Structure formats: structure tokens, C-alpha cells
Structure 1
Amino acid sequence: MDLLTELTDRKVLAVVRADTPDLAVACLRTLAGAGITALEVSLTTPGALDAIARARADSPPDVLIGAGTVLTAEHAELAAAAGASFAVTPGLTPGAPRSTALGLPLLCGALTPTEVLAALDAGATAVKVFPAATHGPGYLRDLLAPLPHAPLIAIGGIDADAAPRYLAAGARVVGVGSPLLGDAGRGGSLTALAERAARLLRAVGHRATPAAAR
């Protein structure tokens, strides 16, 4: 699987944080059913690895389920054992090189040009520019001026209204967390979550194909 190609095609990476593994799994299933099939479960979620393993076991192979906030080498090893499709780090954590050593595609966090280059040198499949909303879409354009081939993902504070602007600025994919999840990770309405997912997909011009129909 070429993860970068898949993410570029899907345009949206949903970032899931929840109070329990059951809630995380429910959010993952709802999002995949709504057509968002690139998903990240932050390891700050209690029982995140269990949620990843459960969702992986009952999802079609083309649903991508990654582990986020991979801080340590052990995190990377546990994520791989749980069946994660990829690892996401907030920066060049010890989990970053361990992920690549395990053959787990890495989305590595960075902000400055130096950090972007360091992440790519470390073997990152793509670089997560975080927090994107603090700097805006223009900052991605500025990064890509000297680094035109850098595969950038914009994450942090992006909602359905802003997402198209980051894609237009050159982001391969936008990562969306709390503006998409709302209160679903705390037991809120899954119907409302599915509606937000559909709105986000419409905003980025991606035709939703629910996972169950794949």
C-alpha cells in the first residue's frame, strides 16, 4: 500500500480521541460508515490500542486505521502489534525511528523548514504540520516554496470551512479532530458525528463511499 497516495486520494484524516475504547470504536465505525476511511486513534485515548485492534479486525482492508501520539519505541511496537496501518508522532520522538524500523509508515509532526527536512530524512512518509490553524494556509505555501515536493499534512484547529483552503495551499490531506468529533468521543450523538463527516467530505469535494459498501 502506498499510504501517501491513499491519503492524498481520500483528502481527510479523522483524528479520534475518546474517553473509552468502546467510544473510540463507535466513532471509528461511524466515520467509516459515513465515508471517512483514513482514521487515527490518539494513544491519549484510554485503551486506544484495544480500540485499534478491534476496529482493524472488523473493518475492510482499505479502511486505514493509524495510531497517533506515538511517543516511545514501545508505543510504536504496540501499535504495530495492534494492526495499525501507520503511526503519527507530534515530532521526532523516539517512536518515530522505531516506527520506520518496524516498517510502519510514519506521519511525523513538524513546523519549521528544518523540522520538515529532519522528518523526511528520518523516513517519514509525510510530514504533519501542526498546529496548522495557528499559522494558516499561507504558512503551508511558504513552506512549499523552497520545499515544493514535501508531502505535507495540515492538522490542528481545522474545520470543514477551513479544510479546502489548506488543500488549495498544497496540503496533501487535512487532519481534523475536535471540530469533527465534537462530543462523540464523550458519548455524544453518533448521528451528529456522521452528519459532520458528510459535511466535511462535501467541503473538500470528496465523494463519500461508506466502508460497508466497499
Structure 2
Amino acid sequence: MTDIGKASVLDDWLSHSPIVPVITLESVDQAVPLAKALFAGGLSVLEVTLRTPAGLPGIESIRATLPDVIVGAGTVMTVEQLQAVQTAGAQFVVSPGSTPELLSAMIHSELPILPGIATLSELMLGYQMGLRRFKFFPAEISGGIKALKAFSGPAADCSFCPTGGVSPGNLKDYLGLTNVIAVGGTWLTPADALASQSWSTITDLAKSACALASSIRTG
């Protein structure tokens, strides 16, 4: 698949589900019920991070059980991890930052990608390699709304998924930007709800987020 083709696939997924839960699993057993809870709330594109050992098998479990859910791998930091998430069945890849080696490997993979950037120099590195879709992380402490508005000048043809500090309180501001295709957030999967297996709480959070996103995009 070409870079343009991969970007088109990603655009299509995120246009239908512009809020991407960023998930850190403490156990593999959480993966499927959590994904079901988020999907029941209207969120069909999920990012499962590799921050714990449960990440890779969690991706495998969701892919094997829930064909209507799009599941990507987050916190991919090395070429070896990229290879592992492809084997696990991840449908897209998200990195927290960018190095030339990792960017090259991501570009040559068959998966849609969201490489992480926090500065204009990192953006330029990816841009020179043909990329136009990026994760902006950590968004709030890297300039947030003001930074993304500034990026729209020299990189008017780029789109971003800001993650890190995004919440219901600033969701409207982020999704209101023309160069933001989606946002990523951890607020949809609070640790206490995961620990208590309060899946209905997570479904309610997802429904509220979807309602807010819909009001922003159609308002």
C-alpha cells in the first residue's frame, strides 16, 4: 500500500471515529471487555499501547474477537516493536516520537502510521520522507492549540492527532481545528474503572465523548 493509500485508509477510519482511546492494559483479560465497552459507546478505533506486557496479546485478543473494531498499536519505539505489532495483527501503528530509522521502517510497512512529533523540526523530518499524518504528543505541554495553529502555516497539507492532555474540557478546541483529524485520550479508560471492571462506566464515557464530538463536527 502506498503512503497516500495508507493515509486515505487512516482518514476514513478517523473520520468515522475521531476520538481514539489510548489504552494501557494491566492484564490481557481486560482487552476484549474493554474494547466491547468502548465500541458500545460508539468508539470503533482504539490504540492499545505497548507500555505493559499485556499490550501485544491484548491486540491479538481484540483482533480475534471483535472484527468491527479497528485496533492499532501505540508506544511503538523500535523497529523490533514495529515488527512485533504487525505479527500481532495491529491495523495501524502509532509512535510517541520519531527517529529516522523508525520512520523509515514505518513507511516501508504495510500499515497506516501516525508517527509522533512535538516540534516543527520533527515534523519536517517526516514531511521530507513523504508523510502528512502525525501524532502530536505530548500535545498540551508542547504548545497545544497554539502550536497546531502555528503548524498550519508551513505545513498546511498536514493533519494531526493530538494526544497528551486532551480532555472533555478542551476537546472542542482541538477538534475545531481544521488540521486536526482526531484526538487521542486516556480519560476514556480511567484506571479505577479498569480495576473494578466497571465497563458500563467506560461505555458512558465513550457515549459522552461521541456526543460532544458530533456536536463539534456538525455544529
Q: TM-score range by the shorter chain?
A: 0.7 to 0.9
Partner of 1:119: 126
Match status 1:151 vs 2:145: no
- Pairwise mapping of residues 9-158 of structure 1 onto structure 2 (< 5 A)? 9-61=16-68, 63-93=69-99, 94-124=101-131, 126-134=133-141, 135-158=143-166
Please, which moves more after superposition, 161-170 or 76-85? Answer: 161-170
Structure 1 unaligned regions, length at least 5: 207-214
Residue 198 of structure 1 is aligned with which of 204, 207, 211?
207
**For the residues of structure 2 that align with 1:130 and 1:169, how far apart are their CA atoms?**
16
8 Å CA contact 2:137–2:164 kept in 1: the answer is: yes
Instruction: Let me know the Cα RMSD of the aligned residues.
Output: 2.0
- CA displacement at 1:192 relative to structure 2: 0.8
Partner of 2:5: none
TM-score normalised by length of structure 1? 0.87
**For the residues of structure 2 that align with 1:138 and 1:188, how far apart are their CA atoms?**
37
| CA 165–83 in structure 1, closer or farther in 2 if over 3 Å, else same | same
Partner of 1:4: 11
Structure 2 unaligned regions, length at least 5: 1-7
**What fraction of aligned residue pairs are identical, expressed as a percent?**
29
**For the residues of structure 2 that align with 1:97 and 1:25, how far apart are their CA atoms?**
32
* Number of residue equivalences: 205
8 Å CA contact 2:25–2:54 kept in 1: the answer is: no
8 Å CA contact 2:132–2:158 kept in 1: the answer is: no
8 Å CA contact 1:23–1:187 kept in 2: the answer is: no
8 Å CA contact 1:107–1:124 kept in 2: the answer is: no
**For the residues of structure 1 that align with 2:158 and 2:35, how far apart are their CA atoms?**
29
**For the residues of structure 1 that align with 2:163 and 2:96, how far apart are their CA atoms?**
10
Partner of 1:211: none
- CA displacement at 1:169 relative to structure 2: 2.0
| CA 139–125 in structure 1, closer or farther in 2 if over 3 Å, else same | closer
8 Å CA contact 1:77–1:98 kept in 2: the answer is: no
**For the residues of structure 1 that align with 2:29 and 2:127, how far apart are their CA atoms?**
35
SS in 2 for 1:13: strand
- CA displacement at 1:11 relative to structure 2: 1.1
8 Å CA contact 1:16–1:28 kept in 2: the answer is: no
Deviations, residues 114-155 of structure 1 (Å, cap 9, x unaligned) = 211212334546211111122232221111122111111111
8 Å CA contact 1:4–1:126 kept in 2: the answer is: no
**For the residues of structure 1 that align with 2:83 and 2:22, how far apart are their CA atoms?**
20
Match status 1:189 vs 2:218: no
TM-score normalised by length of structure 2? 0.86
- CA displacement at 1:85 relative to structure 2: 0.5
